[in-house]
Structure 1
Amino acid sequence: MFERFTTDAREVVVEAQAHARRLGHDYIGCEHLLLALASIEGQIATVLHGLGATPAALEAAVQQLIGTPDAALDREALAAIGIDLDAVREKVEANFGPRALAPTLRPRRRWWGRRAACDATPRYGHIPFTPRAAKCLQTSLGEAVALGHRHIGMEHIALALTTMTDGIAPQLLFATGSSPARLRTAILNRHRQAS
């Protein structure tokens, strides 16, 4: 299937992996694919931005919905001593701005223990796709066939994301003021105009 991916579609997969690493996630999910589509310049990014799904808005929604690794444990621990994490987050962002709690760069260590340049993401190692993300990439083939295309492009991945009824991708679109149906309609309208 990957042999049918265009260069842009392959770039989406690479960019999704980069977003997963940067956010500290040990998987590539539909949220990372959506972030990648919004981050790579082109028609799909233009459509997403027009619907309010900018990279910054999507990342903020990911942080709000998923948080960072171990965030659930942190939330439970704070709740046990009477601290409402959402109230704290709102107060901090009200006082210091919307990105005040974004992850910061942390030093990466070389294997012999010397400090290297600051880097927020590990550079090596395989990050697996979640079952939903894998299904989305498989569904992109069906979307390409339905449009009569022999290749799988960014638009097919985006259309496949709109078919995901569960998981975080629809929630992210709703959180940014859009919906899977609106995204699908906008992409198909662009496709019809280009044809």
Structure 2
Amino acid sequence: MVIAPVQLTDLIVTVAQEHADALGRLTAAVELSGQLDELGDHLIGHFVDEARRSGASWTEIGESIGVTKQAAQKRFVPKESPDLKPSFDRYTDRARRVVVLARHHARFSERIGTEHLLLGLMDESGGVGAKAIAKLEGAEGTTRLATLNALDRTSRERPPNQPFTAHCKKALELTVREALRLGHTFVGTEHLLLGLLSVEECTAAEVMATTGITKAAAESYVVAEFTKAITAPRQAPPGG
């Protein structure tokens, strides 16, 4: 049996230290409980992804988590259905603008892909994600050029409920997971970049691989920027 690294006593102490009154503590406990549920979902999702990469079948994965193959696939395989929309509640204003810009770049497409999301990310030039790309790419502007070259030039009518591709939905899911992994309560453009780089078989990640941008280098840049901002006097973290 795996022993949880965080004990109930630790959580109680954390809530009690931050709130003086009983009702404030109760409210904080409910919020923390929701965060823990989300962390649990992403914890399982992380190891489902690992099991798939190691060659495990969906039947085996279902048996490991106590559900059917179909239930496991329904829970963990991203769909292109417009009815299954990612939640953008935690997104910063910059990160939300990236999604809006991605829709703009996909205006002649039936779906919103990772390539459109990457273009939106670079358009939001003030964000940490775009700054990381500019810092890490082999030569200035090569990532944008490579992304534009990778676009499907066939003009199609955009459906009323334009869906994200399965790869794009996976990247958005991993975006939230990256934020949680780094201990951030918000989702910024830096997390979008890390999410895109986590889906190795998607167009955006393949493009960035050709221009010298790796996930390890991007994460190092993001962590360094946050460390710099936190240690600087009277300066807020650079989330965006």
TM-score under structure 2 length normalisation: 0.52
Q: Work out whether 1:173 is the aligned partner of 2:208.
A: yes
Partner secondary structure for residue 199 of structure 2? coil
Counterpart of 1:139 in structure 2 is 174
Counterpart of 2:114 in structure 1 is 30
Are residues 13 and 185 of structure 1, via their aligned partners in 2, closer, same or farther at CA, if it must alter by over 3 Å? same
Match of 1:4 among 90, 96, 105: 90
Identity of aligned residues (%): 31
**Do 2:137 and 2:211's aligned partners in 1 also have CA atoms closer than 8 Å?**
yes
Number of equivalenced pairs: 143
Unaligned runs of 5+ in 2: 1-86, 231-240
Give runs of aligned pairs for residues 182-193 of structure 1, distance below 5 A.
182-193=217-228
Larger Rg: 2
**Do 1:27 and 1:128's aligned partners in 2 also have CA atoms closer than 8 Å?**
yes
> Which one-letter code corresponds to 1:136 in the other structure?
A
**Do 1:6 and 1:153's aligned partners in 2 also have CA atoms closer than 8 Å?**
yes
Match of 2:147 among 62, 68, 71: 62
Match of 1:128 among 163, 171, 180: 163
Distance in 2 between the 1:59 and 1:131 partners?
22
Distance in 2 between the 1:181 and 1:48 partners?
13
Q: CA deviation at 1:10?
A: 0.9
Instruction: Report the RMSD for the aligned CA atoms in angstroms.
Output: 2.7
Partner secondary structure for residue 3 of structure 1? coil
Are residues 12 and 54 of structure 1, via their aligned partners in 2, closer, same or farther at CA, if it must alter by over 3 Å? farther
> Which one-letter code corresponds to 1:7 in the other structure?
D
- Bigger RCO of structures 1 and 2 (CA < 8 A, at least 6 apart): 1
> Which one-letter code corresponds to 2:109 in the other structure?
H
Are residues 55 and 139 of structure 1, via their aligned partners in 2, closer, same or farther at CA, if it must alter by over 3 Å? farther
For 1:138-193, what per-residue CA distance to the aligned partner results, in whole angstroms no more than 9, with x for missing partners? 11111111122222111111111121111212221123333333223322322232
Distance in 1 between the 2:138 and 2:99 partners?
18
Are residues 54 and 10 of structure 1, via their aligned partners in 2, closer, same or farther at CA, if it must alter by over 3 Å? farther
> Which one-letter code corresponds to 1:33 in the other structure?
L
Distance in 2 between the 1:144 and 1:60 partners?
28
